[in-house]
Structure 1
């Protein structure tokens, strides 16, 4: 796509998007672009893609299904929810619902069902458009579930007929098109109703007026559509005539993102600062992401050092845009840096008001000023949002002006310079932004207060003095015996989105109060981080390692004697740390691997260990908990996973039993990998018999590691050795028909994947991509492994909440001895971490002690025998 010089018409036959379009409606413009781009891909998600034609057809099916169900209802007062993944089907569903004349409420599939039900009930919706993967959750959320793509779906109309149908329910520019829900300080969700004209104007501002993604752009879209920052570019790219390539960082590693950007030819990246930090960490100091013309980020403070790292990665030809907005106002300001522009020190400004907006600050005396420090206030004639079905709350912050404009009083405090440049300083209320998402801590308070073992609770945000990043701290006064911190976090995790889970839990005898009995927040203690004595780095090398620890753990400070895992580090953080150390290119550094961190988890010990140049004779063996007098448990890690991922489980297994981890050959030592499950098992058996020459043996494994453990048990038995117990943790049975088959968007992508697979362990891959390559290699081997039924004692644990739980339950034909299949709450990886790991460790401990397991309700976060 490209513009014809000197005209407002682009080559494909539709007019260039302009401010005048804001006087219209969303659907006619989307139809105009789609018809002109009938054979051009407008949306892709790595598996599926929509051309203009197929977008029209699929959206028309959604519209027809919604109208059939809601016949006789006033569509303007009857919202419809959409619950799908970050995929092309979600885009078609959003367009279809809006074309039916109904406001759309996009639901985030990672949010607990109980929370989603709050949104749906608050909106007054009774219908949710979903798909087969999320149908069960959708049924918990709404009375009626529609799957326009499922069995019995209507025949797709011709795309010209579909276009005509989509235009059959014309809307007024002031009608509500989208309702976006934010947190409420009282625990009630707050819906922001956004009209057609405001969305259209925001699209012009965000794309053409600022030049961020004009017609013909290829936009890498990573932001969840349930939030305002995600739904606006979803609609915006369609309105402008840009192609959007969807990438879900919650289901794919950010280490894959640079390769994805190159593969799809993206020239625009829309991402949060948190995601960009992950990308920079995976690339290493010398990594680059070529081809981008624009990177936009918003939602949290970006400091100068972070901005500099992003600019190094994208190069001088890319414009980096730090933006500020809200659900009520859409985009308000932008601070753009390009070429050799000098980067600011400290917190990056959010910049100047975008076209059509006027910024002011409300001073302490309540007057409005064009410069100074105070509450940020925005005025615009394009400001049309209101709180859905809540005129009182709308009147608190919105003002209608005589000239037809509207004013919105934000909850942000900022400093507005004489030149109009805005710097944000914080919030006027107790709200905080965590990972770029607004959190009302009072909502977490309300949830904790409702727990029978909690007398009082107060949740606050604590900023890092050095990075400015926020985390939540829960101060809890127990009612009776003190609960575990993990149990407090688990309650929040089960009911609220992940970004609302407190990072720290501090137990108090009472909350501090003033003389008048009011809460005294100034006297809340800082959350303790470690019991180790504090000591700063003593050498230059310790200083380097210290910086890497802080970066990976996102801490402003720590002692060189603090334990990496006690500070919250997990296997992914460990892999990121190892990648960062290797990327330093220090010739004095010996072999680095997560196994080194397992035995040397502090800055002081790790710094010494990686400089020792001592190479392990058994690089596949990782002592996860070497102490104990009993027979050891040999625990095999999954595909592409360091054995360190199993450390939390190992620490929770019954005392006295050593736990030794096993990982792939070549994963953390320079060597070629094994190319069959049988060869991996043969290598591990040799390592096991070096540690324990004679049986009985105890072997276990997670994911692919479960199949390797199965093969190890077969090989040990064939060698005349006794296998006391085989434990399989959420693995597919050895039946290729049950295992997912990879899907590729094109033959070229499949060929590239094959080449990448063949280079596993041969060609170096920067950052976390090394582990991803081993993961794909492991999946390749898994789909080619079969074996006879296992005749010995076995325990199979299945993560009951995982999407593949149905296939992973089908072990019965493959176990001919005394065996149990037990289901626990959680997903594939979460059962290895708090708070889900406890029941799994109990099951494994009982199997090792030959005890019968308890039978309790899986929905309470424990386990049930099936």
Structure 2
């Protein structure tokens, strides 16, 4: 056991005293807020300015009736908005709890927020006007409203043991615990960290981690406030988009101390290897790069120090560290890396701060000898007293004699701590903990996987900068059913990406007997990991790779410089060696998401000089070879014309069944069909039909006849004769019906016609649907406006020039959503003008005649159309069903109506797409008679 001498007592009683003191004593200290929307813009502030902002928000909170020790949820996505609210809580004695940014689907984010809201007793949630629509059903006050008050003059004098802060412990898709941190906890940690790192008011501290992380809030904000030091806050995406910006910012602002998990060190090393050295970097003032959150491989750390030594980086600047939310961030620091870790694979985390006691215990709770391995346990004034309203979790976190159980395994040798793993069932990827049981629960619900026979566990290959996720499962399909196995492998990979934002390093189908279970039916993940790392699953891994190769095509090496560059870009995006990527590998078969698609476009534009590259090019040329050829064509010059237009976008081309042709919704674009199409992998090809007019040189259709002729001609060129399978999303269902009628007139059979959530008769729904309504409705569909905004905005913008109407929407749209869709004013103007043109073309058509059969898939509520705005929910739902029933008139046999999860604009998106695609594919198989009909 290691103990440290106690430092002098702290001079403050509570955290709320820190900012007024800094404003008085250090008015010259600077706060830099990096702009959320611009990589070149900073906003400069000071402690007196921050105090004034906080006092205004405090007056607003008191106006809402808050009293000392009331809880306050805070959801902000930039420092300039978050910090005044945080300090208002400290100055008024309220207890803030930062909410993390949403991960996974919107539905998961809402469920997470509601759970936290209930856990904390349904407190007020403070957010921005821009984010408020993402938080339905909660009691919300916007920061803009709260700050519109005169500064409050009365401050609350909290007691040291009062609760000061609640911090959530798990990712934003789980059911988190709220760690209780008192003023005494926070102040004790700051005193210990100041002494351990020899910090003063002359330091400049840089943070790029969100304030839902305790290290960002305490070590890189509260601590410099207490010292009167300057601080810089940068959105994480700025650093992740270009890792070398981490060091450029440190150089430009003369940063002395900063923080990063090890995975960023690996990204920085990779970026450094790929380009010439930045001779402008000056890192001579950078004393401490604290690296916590995951183990630091010595090779990664020493490469980082070596790479930037010519820029003045000190040989001892990298400090591996250990801390937890429960310990108020960093409490163990290694100031002697790399010298103390020679010939070790991973760096030790060093020596504990003063006032912290550490012991190492075996599984029976007995202290082990110096150098022995066991669980790291902690005791000291910075350690939490437990979890808010969760007695069971609090009891299990402490030993009977009052020591906190970290769940981490380690050794204590001559007072120095080295970690050796974890006793908890978690996977630590890029500094973030993911819980095995949460991943297994989600994957166990997928078709093709045997329930209760799926395991999620970590591995760390030699030389890796972070742990990697392994998924083992027992497939339901027979071992020789490669298409079914390929679909299951794809579903596992895509589900992990959609829910948690990263890819499994390995997905291994295993026989049932490989899953050793105890008497309670629990799988031994530890045993699976040991067998994997012993090489016992090599045959299964190679067999799986062979299935994927046969399903996606054999390897073909790149033949040109463009192909090699694109293969390298694919490798970066997917985190796999470029040498293993075929020039004919399909971007989506590799696991590409819509976000990855936009990353690919950005890389190609920057590195290959392809400013004319559009998203549609990536959809229609998804392999390095095809995309290189497309770029070659573009560089040869020559504007696109209508003669170059091809309506068919091959979203998925594998499978031997009859292809499905699916028509675009009203906006004309087909990205909304991407998630649905990927569920057809190995089943049947999926061609989306995209409107004309998106590409430079193309003109929109001027008549319904012209549009139907173009679509029908393209379908017959791809599939000369029936039977055909057709579908259409939203008003695309009416276009699909017109195509079916045209094919019938040519003597062809349409065996399947599906409509997704739209009736056949448009005229009653088009009342009042002018350009202002079109822009507002489609902006809601795209996630630029919330429902209320889409209903109220038309009256505000009607009468403005069309471009000004569009600009108004762009000003309201969340920046993250604009980035996700790669949207700017010019592109959005083109899209909205085209959408309005398509609306006019559709209005020319009235359905007539019949087709043999129609299947309509619909949600429970109507889409956001003006005709339903003033109708009660239950009446609107019935009115919508009545409109849908008009399809009976156009079907020779009774139309089939199938209700599916989700609403109009979420049917084909996660998480609803998983249930929808199963029903959709079953109906196609039943009608086409080329697959199972169960």
The answer to whether the superposition gives a TM-score over 0.5 is: yes
Deviation at 1:297, TM superposition (A): 3.1
State whether residues 436 and 457 of structure 2, in contact with CA within 8 Å, keep that contact through their aligned partners in structure 1: yes
Q: Structure 1 residues 631 and 779 mapped into 2: Cα distance closer, same or farther (>3 Å)?
A: same
C-alpha distance in 2 between matches for 1:280 and 1:25: 41
State whether residues 736 and 782 of structure 1, in contact with CA within 8 Å, keep that contact through their aligned partners in structure 2: no
How many residue pairs get matched? 730
C-alpha distance in 2 between matches for 1:661 and 1:345: 57
Q: Structure 1 residues 736 and 207 mapped into 2: Cα distance closer, same or farther (>3 Å)?
A: farther
Q: Which whole-Å deviations, capped at 9, do the CAs of 1:711-768 have from their partners, x for residues lacking one?
A: xxxxxxxxxxxxxx9x989668964423368899xxxxxxxxxxxxxxxxxxxxxxxx
C-alpha distance in 1 between matches for 2:660 and 2:394: 66
C-alpha distance in 2 between matches for 1:270 and 1:122: 31
C-alpha distance in 1 between matches for 2:631 and 2:694: 32
Deviation at 1:29, TM superposition (A): 1.4
Match in the other structure for 1:791: 840
Report which stretch shifted further, 300-309 or 611-620.
611-620
C-alpha distance in 2 between matches for 1:119 and 1:841: 32
Report which stretch shifted further, 558-567 or 22-31.
558-567
C-alpha distance in 2 between matches for 1:311 and 1:592: 38
State whether residues 311 and 320 of structure 1, in contact with CA within 8 Å, keep that contact through their aligned partners in structure 2: no
Match in the other structure for 1:13: none
C-alpha distance in 1 between matches for 2:242 and 2:825: 12
Alignment match of 1:170 (pick from 157, 167, 175)? 157
C-alpha distance in 1 between matches for 2:388 and 2:428: 23
Q: What SS does the corresponding residue of 2:840 show, helix, strand or coil?
A: coil
Equivalent residue runs for 1:215-294 within 5 Å: 215-219=202-206, 221-232=207-218, 233-249=220-236, 254-255=240-241, 265-268=252-255, 269-275=258-264, 277=266, 285-286=274-275, 288=278, 290-291=281-282, 293=286, 294=288
Alignment match of 1:193 (pick from 174, 180, 192)? 180
Equivalent residue runs for 1:429-508 within 5 Å: 429-444=424-439, 455-456=451-452, 459-466=455-462, 467=464, 468-471=466-469, 473=471, 475=473
Match in the other structure for 2:15: 26
Match in the other structure for 1:121: 118
Q: Structure 1 residues 657 and 376 mapped into 2: Cα distance closer, same or farther (>3 Å)?
A: closer
Equivalent residue runs for 1:135-154 within 5 Å: 135-141=132-138, 144-150=139-145, 153=146
Provide the TM-score with structure 2 as the length reference. 0.59
Matched, 1:553 2:574: yes
Report which stretch shifted further, 546-555 or 774-783.
774-783
Q: Structure 1 residues 69 and 533 mapped into 2: Cα distance closer, same or farther (>3 Å)?
A: closer
State whether residues 59 and 149 of structure 2, in contact with CA within 8 Å, keep that contact through their aligned partners in structure 1: no
State whether residues 595 and 820 of structure 2, in contact with CA within 8 Å, keep that contact through their aligned partners in structure 1: no
Q: What SS does the corresponding residue of 1:203 show, helix, strand or coil?
A: helix
Match in the other structure for 1:55: 50
Equivalent residue runs for 1:600-615 within 5 Å: none
State whether residues 430 and 460 of structure 1, in contact with CA within 8 Å, keep that contact through their aligned partners in structure 2: no
Matched, 1:568 2:584: no
Match in the other structure for 1:320: 318
State whether residues 42 and 238 of structure 1, in contact with CA within 8 Å, keep that contact through their aligned partners in structure 2: no
Match in the other structure for 1:102: 94
Deviation at 1:21, TM superposition (A): 3.8
Q: Structure 1 residues 806 and 227 mapped into 2: Cα distance closer, same or farther (>3 Å)?
A: farther
Q: Structure 1 residues 694 and 154 mapped into 2: Cα distance closer, same or farther (>3 Å)?
A: closer
C-alpha distance in 2 between matches for 1:826 and 1:313: 52
Q: Which whole-Å deviations, capped at 9, do the CAs of 1:333-352 have from their partners, x for residues lacking one?
A: 23358899998764343333
State which structure, 1 or 2, has the greater radius of gyration over its C-alpha atoms.
2
Alignment match of 2:128 (pick from 128, 131, 154)? 131
Q: Which whole-Å deviations, capped at 9, do the CAs of 1:348-369 have from their partners, x for residues lacking one?
A: 4333333443444224662244
Q: What SS does the corresponding residue of 2:23 show, helix, strand or coil?
A: helix
Matched, 1:296 2:296: no
Q: Which whole-Å deviations, capped at 9, do the CAs of 1:647-701 have from their partners, x for residues lacking one?
A: 76766689667569999xxxxxxxxxxxxx998244999xxxxxx99777889xx
Match in the other structure for 1:92: 84
C-alpha distance in 2 between matches for 1:569 and 1:533: 16
C-alpha distance in 1 between matches for 2:621 and 2:831: 32
Q: Structure 1 residues 595 and 371 mapped into 2: Cα distance closer, same or farther (>3 Å)?
A: farther
Equivalent residue runs for 1:494-643 within 5 Å: 512-514=515-517, 516=519, 518=521, 519-521=523-525, 522=527, 530=545, 531-532=547-548, 552-555=573-576, 565-570=588-593, 573=596
C-alpha distance in 2 between matches for 1:236 and 1:743: 36
Q: What SS does the corresponding residue of 1:178 show, helix, strand or coil?
A: strand
C-alpha distance in 1 between matches for 2:265 and 2:865: 35
Deviation at 1:82, TM superposition (A): 1.7
Match in the other structure for 1:739: 807
State whether residues 255 and 282 of structure 1, in contact with CA within 8 Å, keep that contact through their aligned partners in structure 2: no
C-alpha distance in 2 between matches for 1:806 and 1:53: 49
Match in the other structure for 1:362: 361
Q: Which whole-Å deviations, capped at 9, do the CAs of 1:142-168 have from their partners, x for residues lacking one?
A: xx3333522xx575435xxx4x52x3x
Deviation at 1:28, TM superposition (A): 0.9
Matched, 1:82 2:150: no
Q: Structure 1 residues 33 and 471 mapped into 2: Cα distance closer, same or farther (>3 Å)?
A: same
C-alpha distance in 2 between matches for 1:837 and 1:507: 27
Structure 2, unmatched stretches of 5+, are: 1-6, 37-42, 104-108, 478-483, 702-707, 716-731, 733-754, 759-777, 785-789, 791-801, 813-818, 846-858, 870-899, 922-926, 928-934
Q: Structure 1 residues 399 and 515 mapped into 2: Cα distance closer, same or farther (>3 Å)?
A: closer
Q: What SS does the corresponding residue of 2:433 show, helix, strand or coil?
A: strand
Q: Structure 1 residues 65 and 357 mapped into 2: Cα distance closer, same or farther (>3 Å)?
A: same
C-alpha distance in 2 between matches for 1:489 and 1:626: 19
C-alpha distance in 2 between matches for 1:645 and 1:24: 55
Alpha-carbon RMSD: 6.7
Match in the other structure for 1:688: none
Q: What SS does the corresponding residue of 1:680 show, helix, strand or coil?
A: coil
Match in the other structure for 1:353: 352
Provide the TM-score with structure 1 as the length reference. 0.63
C-alpha distance in 2 between matches for 1:31 and 1:205: 22
C-alpha distance in 1 between matches for 2:805 and 2:591: 38
Alignment match of 1:46 (pick from 35, 38, 52)? 35
Deviation at 1:193, TM superposition (A): 1.0
Match in the other structure for 1:14: none
Q: What SS does the corresponding residue of 2:236 show, helix, strand or coil?
A: coil
C-alpha distance in 2 between matches for 1:282 and 1:635: 39
Q: Structure 1 residues 559 and 33 mapped into 2: Cα distance closer, same or farther (>3 Å)?
A: same
